[in-house]
Amino acid sequence: MAAAELTAHALIAQHRPTLDQALEAIRTRAYWSPHPEHPKAYGENGSLDAAAGKAAFDAVLNTRLDLGQPGTDDWVGGEVSPYGAALGVTYPHADVDELLPAMTAGQRAWRDAGAEVRAVVCLEILKRISDRTHEFAHAVMHTSGQAFMMAFQAGGPHAQDRGLEAVAYAYAEQVRTPGTAEWSKPQGKRDPLTLTKSFTPVPRGIALLIGCNTFPTWNGYPGLFASLATGNAVLVKPHPRAVLPLALTVSVAREVLAAAGFDPNLVALAAERPGEGIAKTLATRPEIRIVDYTGSTAFGDWLEANARQAQVYTEKAGVNTVIVHSTADYKGMLANLAFSLSLYSGQMCTTPQNLLIPRAGILTDEGPKSFDEVVADLARSVDGLLGDDARANALLGAIVNPDVKARLEAAAGLGEVALASREVSNPDFPDAVVRTPVIVKLDGAKPDDEAAYMSECFGPVSFAVAVDSAADAIALLRRTVREKGAMTVGAYTTDGEVEEAIQEVCLEEAAQLSLNLTGGVYVNQTAAFSDFHGSGGNPAANAALTDGAFVASRFRVVEVRRDA
Amino acid sequence: MAAAELTAHALIAQHRPTLDQALEAIRTRAYWSPHPEHPKAYGENGSLDAAAGKAAFDAVLNTRLDLGQPGTDDWVGGEVSPYGAALGVTYPHADVDELLPAMTAGQRAWRDAGAEVRAVVCLEILKRISDRTHEFAHAVMHTSGQAFMMAFQAGGPHAQDRGLEAVAYAYAEQVRTPGTAEWSKPQGKRDPLTLTKSFTPVPRGIALLIGCNTFPTWNGYPGLFASLATGNAVLVKPHPRAVLPLALTVSVAREVLAAAGFDPNLVALAAERPGEGIAKTLATRPEIRIVDYTGSTAFGDWLEANARQAQVYTEKAGVNTVIVHSTADYKGMLANLAFSLSLYSGQMCTTPQNLLIPRAGILTDEGPKSFDEVVADLARSVDGLLGDDARANALLGAIVNPDVKARLEAAAGLGEVALASREVSNPDFPDAVVRTPVIVKLDGAKPDDEAAYMSECFGPVSFAVAVDSAADAIALLRRTVREKGAMTVGAYTTDGEVEEAIQEVCLEEAAQLSLNLTGGVYVNQTAAFSDFHGSGGNPAANAALTDGAFVASRFRVVEVRRDA
């Protein structure tokens, strides 16, 4: 590393305090983030302001993004923004027989650098990504369809937080075992037995990150940084509709690795031709020892069953439930739920789908409300929230792909429509498909309705399901989580026994529970360093973001011992 | 827990200091053990001395060991000591459709007790097992065939150490996340967003421990205690030839659980009829969410492929290599190797099998030694070590089963025999099959010899393999670890470059390396709290005893959050 532009010493001096704060945050789980959420916070100390970020994004459109990777045999790309325009960016297509061996060349030096240097190199990557948050925001917006502010926050600081959190967990896990130990075992009157031992965290091999369409950075960074920080090379296979945010990420990672004297091929991109489906091929290559995946249950299950040579971390699909039993803040509940259903057109793995409401109605601070009143009031709240087109566009974003639109349209036929979906026009992006959520009434006692509410209907579709009682709701919650999985569960109740019973189901079925949220925190949002995203204990995901289990199996510890 | 004979308070007062010492030991990896190795250390403070332990063992022979388990539909057992006598003990055979549901009944209370109470209950179980070490020693001796002193130490204090180590890791992992957190996110001039969060470690479900014949307690305790300490119920399925040590363990666990006010059915035994093969059935039951296994590669691979509903931790078979390149202590090396080959008749997963020796000979402090001289001197060392029958019996123990004897006899036909195996008579146990190790010369350059040294030959069989050079030895080491796995690697060299190259192979292939051992520590022994047993990173095992990865996925954390 003699010629390195970034020395380990300088990187440690710069980033160790941040790493220490992150380590403290994951211990206390109090609020913390080093990444500003406000767009105006950027523009100083080397970070791009709004105009510069937009210019940087525009400059990459219709270009070939040459990452300087070995084994590039073609240039591919076909992203079209959910807001209308083709991005026109092409990316290297890899001959994996050449690229994969090249990715292992730098692994020894990366391993020998040790956990702390790897951590601060990762933090430098995150710092440079953070500086370009405005640019990344446009890239996320025009691949995921998120509205700008959401793409900025979720795709920028929140994703960077999740990456940093993964680095902190990875670092903490690796330093649980000391680098060396002197071992001296008493032998009574004889001399003790003494050994000198060294312990080295060693990588698994090459990690594969399979990115998703809706949150390419937020869902991608935890696995990417957890693997890299534990010494593995990382091959990034983005969703074909959301390549740019991860390609830019790879570009920054390669730039920092090279500047720090490491082989940039420790991080590489695997873009693909339309319909090429390289994920299956890559995931089962013997060199690939770790797979991180966010996406459909079908492919997640396939990976778990077939990528047997690898540690496989999946976030799949689930059916998220909110039990609406009673509330001391009816207006707050309605506003909170309306926002949760609307945000990013319900295209979050955490968006509530089934609202379980007793058919006899609920008790509230505004008196008893019938099932129909609750549903109608919720529909009115959504309407009110999205009545203004500018505000609707800012919350909803664009429908990410035609499948979501098709499901939305089909949902209206599943039952009585309590709130019809409405087209919203977007003056800035006339070609964007923008839709408000649909709420459909179903009956938990009708066997015909079960197929609808027991399947994931990804997108702006919610079912108001009439149930017989709190106990009925809780039993359905349990069955839904157990059979279909859930990334989130919400509940509104003022009854201690009902709350206790809901909590018990969530503990037994391993589902993350938000209770009586009526303010500015929503069931579909989790904060890094404090909230777990998923539990890893129900069918929706086999891993949680982020805990010890998410990092501990990404490396092994090799001991060398000798007589002292 | 009102009626509990053991209160949480009392258990914490008694065992928390030991837990804290264990937590410190796994951090520093210095020598530590609370379990005395010397048989004479027992007999006070409630522990059984030698005579009382033997009497307790004798008293259980030819009895029905009634554990008071629900769903018992038969009594089974057919253990015959490798030293000759039938044990005559019968055990409950379970109707698993009745037993498994009964095991879940107590899980909620066990979960709600929290990590600290679970840890100290586990420590009380270990304490009562420790008090009965003399009794367990006979049980281990007469199921594994280990000589008494080894059965005492490896089956007693060393196994208890490994169990305690697992409890410490499990506890540390669970308390990484606090029980509660107050989260407050600044909102500029507005009030901060505030949430109250609780975090609860929740169990996976029922854990299945599949025990082994040779080290029923040592290899069984880590999984058993890691699962129990993380809140899971544990079903213990012993090897049909080694039921008693684990049945006694289950008995103690049930007694302590009940005394502490918990459901004793949280730990249960699943003994089987000859040839019943219940492990496959149990391992794929939906209630079983964790499997720990030690045994053959074939069944370990089967479990990994088929027990897909569970977290599966396997220790399978490997081919252990020692590279003999050069030494500054020829006598010490020979003595150390001779002991390693002889201990428990090589029936350890850690016993060296392939000794790779340059065909041109090696450099030593006694001058150059030819390949033939090294092999002959090693044979002489083994002969010297085992020349006295009493000493031979104390080191070798008995051959555990007819398969080992058959392999030993067949090995003599694989090449030139440098040291023939010899029958040793055991005056105390005339029916015991006691054999000294065989050393067979093979040639790494002869394709015909490869089948022998590239297969695991479990038992007292070692191959002295002539190799062309240090580089040739290192290449063969790499290939052996990569293709066959290794629990241990040993090496003797005075050459810094050779040492470095061997170390690099071990780091890249994730094998645990012992260098230049010439004293009283042997390549086939690992010490809890300090040495890792296996790496989990090569085909011999997918887990290491014990690290964070061994415990982190045995539970999940469920968060409940609400507006503050």
Query: Could you read off the pLDDT of B379-432 as tens digits, one per residue?
Result: 999 999 999 999 999 999 999 999 999 999 999 999 999 999 999 999 999 999
Contact A510 B200 (CB under 8 A): no
Three-class DSSP labels, B473-518 = HHHHHHHHHHHHCCCCEEEECCCHHHHHHHHHHHHHHCCCEEECCC
CB-closest option in B177, B558, B563 to A516: B563
Share of chain A above pLDDT 90, in %: 98
The shortest CB-CB distance from A28 to any of B178, B519, B556 is to B178
Quick: pLDDT tens for B272-327.
Answer: 998 999 999 999 999 999 999 999 999 999 999 999 999 999 999 899 999 999 99
Q: What does the alpha-carbon distance between residue A461 and residue A351 come to, in Å, rounded to a whole number?
A: 9
Token output for B526: 């690992």
| pTM more than 0.95 | yes
A176-231 per-position pLDDT tens digit: 999 999 999 999 999 999 999 999 999 999 999 999 999 999 999 999 999 999 99
8 Å CB contact of B559 and A531: yes
Q: For residue A159, which of A248, A274, A241 has the smallest C-alpha distance? A: A248
Looking at the DSSP bridge assignments, the partners of residue B451 are: none
The per-residue pLDDT for B1 is: 42
The secondary structure of B327-385, three-state, reads CCCHHHHHHHHHHHHHHHHHCCCCCCCEEEEECCCEECCCCCECHHHHHHHHHHHHHHH
A314 token code pair? 């999946």
Contact A507 B31 (CB under 8 A): no
- Using the Cβ of A527 and the Cβ atoms of chain B, whether some distance falls under 8 Å is answered with yes
The answer to whether ipTM exceeds 0.90 is yes
- State the maximum Cα–Cα separation within chain B, in Å, rounded to a whole number: 88
Say which residues have a Cβ less than 8 Å from residue B387's Cβ, sequence separation at least 6: none
| Residue whose structure tokens are 């001796």 | B141
Geometric angle at alpha carbon B188, from B183 and B192, rounded to 5°: 25
| Residue A19 buriedness (CB in 10 A; 0-12 / 13-18 / 19+) | buried
CA A280 from chain centre, in angstroms, equals 21
Residue A4 pLDDT > 90, yes or no? no
Nearest CB to B516 within list A204, A504, A562: A562
pLDDT of amino acid B317: 87
CA distance B458 to B10: 46
Radius of gyration (C-alpha) of chain B in whole angstroms: 25
Q: Is B173 on the interface with A (CB under 8 A)?
A: yes
Task: Output the pLDDT for position B2.
Answer: 45
**A40 touches B: beta carbon within 8 Å:** no
Q: Do A28 and B527 touch (CB under 8 A)?
A: no
> Which SS3 state, helix, strand or coil, does residue B466 take?
strand
**Residue A487 near residue A349, CB atoms below 8 Å:** yes
DSSP H/E element including B538: none
H-helix segments, A239-329:
244-259, 278-283, 297-306
Same fold, B35-316+544-563 and B321-515: no
Helix, coil or strand: residue B262: coil
Q: Domain A321-515: which topology?
A: Aldehyde Dehydrogenase; Chain A, domain 2 (3.40.309)
Query: Has residue A242 got a pLDDT over 60?
Result: yes
Distance CA B534, CA B27 (A): 19
Give me B292's structure tokens. 């720990």
A119: pLDDT confidence band, cut at 50, 70 and 90? very high
pLDDT of residue B3: 56
Preceding omega of B546 cis (within 30 degrees of 0): yes
* Nearest C-alpha in A relative to B170: A548
C-alpha dihedral sign at B106, B111, B114, B115: positive
Identify whether the C-beta of residue B546 lies closer than 8 Å to the C-beta of residue A489. no
Span between the terminal Cα atoms of chain B, in Å? 31
Write down the CATH superfamily of domain A8-12+65-316+544-563. Answer: Aldehyde Dehydrogenase; Chain A, domain 1 (3.40.605.10)
Which residues on adjacent β-strands are paired with residue B209? B236, B292
**What is the percentage of chain B residues whose pLDDT exceeds 70?**
99
- Say if B202 is an interface residue toward chain A (CB within 8 Å): yes
Query: pLDDT-based confidence at A118, cuts 50/70/90?
Result: very high
* DSSP-based three-state secondary structure for A256: helix
Interface of A with B in 209-268 (CB under 8 A): none
pLDDT of residue A1: 42
Task: Decide if B214 contacts B348 (C-beta within 8 A).
Answer: yes
CA angle A120, A125, A129 (to 5 degrees): 140
Position A317 confidence tier, pLDDT thresholds 50, 70, 90: confident
B544/A contact by beta carbon, under 8 A: yes
What CATH architecture does domain B35-316+544-563 belong to?
3-Layer(aba) Sandwich (3.40)
Q: How many CB pairs under 8 A join A and B?
A: 189
Across the interface, whether the CB atoms of B519 and A111 are under 8 A apart is answered: no
Residues of B in contact with A531 (CB under 8 A): 197, 559, 561
Whether the predicted pLDDT of A514 surpasses 50: yes
Confidence class of residue A2 from pLDDT cuts 50, 70 and 90? very low
Low-confidence ranges of chain B (pLDDT < 50): 1-2
Judged by a CB distance cut-off of 8 A, whether residue A41 touches chain B is no
Q: Assess B109–A contact: CB distance below 8 Å, yes or no.
A: no
Number of Cβ atoms within 10 Å of the Cβ of B420: 13
Domain boundaries, chain A: 8-12+65-316+544-563, 321-515
Contact criterion met (CB below 8 Å) for A154 and A139: no
- Are the beta carbons of B243 and B79 closer than 8 angstroms? yes
Number of C-beta neighbours around residue A28 at 10 A: 15
The chain A residue lying nearest B504, using CA atoms, is: A108
Please tell me if residue A564 touches chain B, with a CB cutoff of 8 Å. Answer: no
A544 touches B at CB < 8 Å? yes
Cα first-last separation, chain A? 31
Asked if residues B71 and B96 have their Cβ atoms less than 8 Å apart, the reply is: yes
Cβ distance B361 to B371 under 8 Å?
yes
